[in-house]
C-alpha cells in the first residue's frame, strides 16, 4: 500500500494482531469441543489465516504465511497458550467480541487494498475484503462442526462489506490512502460494534407456509 513507512509498520502489526484474535476465536471452538492440543492448533491456524489464504489463492498471489511464517507462528502460539487457559479467554469473551470486530474491520480493509493494488476491479476487491474477514470463521465452523456463521444473523459480513465499500469510495474520490484506511476501519468496526452492543440483525427470508418444497427431491 502507498503509505508512509511507519504507518505501514503499524498497520502490519495490527494485521498480525487481528490474525491472532481470529486464532483465539478458533481455539475457543476447539475448547468447547474438548479437542486435544492438535485440534487447538488446527482451528487456531485455519481461523487465523484461512481468510487471507483463500484471498491470496483467488488473486493468484503467493500465500502470505508461506512467504513469511510470522502469522503462522503467532496463531500456533496463541492456540497453544489457549489450550492451557481457555477458561480465561472464555470468561472475557465480550472483550474478545470487540477485539474480533476490530480485527475484522482491519483485515477487510487490508484485504481490499491488496486486491486493488493487484489490479482487481471494485466488486472483486470488496469480495476479497469480505473473504479475508469471513472465510476463516466459515472454515472454523465447518471444521469444528458448529452451526455456520452463515446461519447466524448477526451483522458481520455486512459490516465487513461496508468497510470495504467505504475504502473504495474514499479511494475513488481522492482521499489519501492513509485517511481512507482509517475511514474504512471506522465504518467496519463501527457497524459491527453497534450490532454487538444493540443486538442488531438483518431481516430474514420468511417462507410462506406450504409453499416451499420439502427436502426430498430437492434441486441437485
Residues 34-73 that bind a copy of itself (CB under 8 A): 34-40, 42-43, 45, 53, 57-60, 62-63, 65-66, 69, 72-73
CA–CA separation, 82 and 168 (whole Å): 37
CA–CA separation, 182 and 202 (whole Å): 26
Could you say which residues in the range 93-122 bind a copy of itself, by CB under 8 A?
93, 96-97, 100, 120-121
Minimum separation from the CB atom of position 171 to a copy of itself (A): 17
Rg over CA atoms, the chain: 18
Asked if residue 145 binds a copy of itself (CB under 8 A), the reply is yes
Q: Which of 11, 18, 20, 156 binds a copy of itself (CB under 8 A)?
A: 156
CA–CA separation, 149 and 129 (whole Å): 17
Minimum separation from the CB atom of position 210 to a copy of itself (A): 10
Cβ neighbour number for residue 80 with a 10 Å cutoff: 14
CA–CA separation, 23 and 75 (whole Å): 5
What is the DSSP code (8-state) at residue 209?
A: T
Nearer to a copy of itself, 109 or 162 (CB): 162
Minimum separation from the CB atom of position 170 to a copy of itself (A): 21
Amino acid at each position: 500500500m502507498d503509505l508512509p513507512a511507519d504507518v505501514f509498520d503499524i498497520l502490519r502489526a495490527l494485521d498480525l494482531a487481528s490474525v491472532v484474535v481470529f486464532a483465539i476465536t478458533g481455539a475457543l471452538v476447539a475448547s468447547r469441543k474438548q479437542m486435544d492440543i492438535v485440534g487447538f492448533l488446527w482451528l487456531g491456524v485455519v481461523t487465523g489465516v484461512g481468510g487471507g489464504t483463500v484471498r491470496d489463492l483467488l488473486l493468484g498471489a503467493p500465500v502470505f504465511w508461506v512467504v513469511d511464517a510470522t502469522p503462522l507462528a503467532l496463531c500456533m502460539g496463541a492456540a497453544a497458550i489457549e489450550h492451557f487457559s481457555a477458561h480465561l479467554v472464555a470468561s472475557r469473551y465480550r472483550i474478545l467480541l470487540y477485539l474480533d470486530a476490530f480485527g475484522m474491520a482491519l483485515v477487510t480493509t487490508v484485504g481490499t487494498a491488496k486486491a486493488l493494488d493487484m489490479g482487481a476491479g471494485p466488486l472483486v476487491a470488496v469480495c476479497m475484503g469480505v473473504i479475508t474477514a469471513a472465510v476463516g470463521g466459515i472454515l472454523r465452523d465447518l471444521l469444528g462442526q458448529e452451526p455456520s456463521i452463515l446461519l447466524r444473523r448477526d451483522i458481520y459480513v455486512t459490516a465487513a462489506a461496508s468497510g470495504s465499500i467505504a475504502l473504495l469510495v474514499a479511494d475513488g474520490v481522492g482521499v489519501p490512502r492513509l485517511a481512507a484506511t482509517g475511514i474504512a476501519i471506522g465504518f467496519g468496526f463501527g457497524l459491527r460494534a453497534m450490532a454487538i452492543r444493540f443486538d442488531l440483525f438483518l431481516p430474514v427470508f420468511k417462507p410462506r407456509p406450504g409453499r416451499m418444497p420439502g427436502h426430498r427431491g430437492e434441486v441437485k
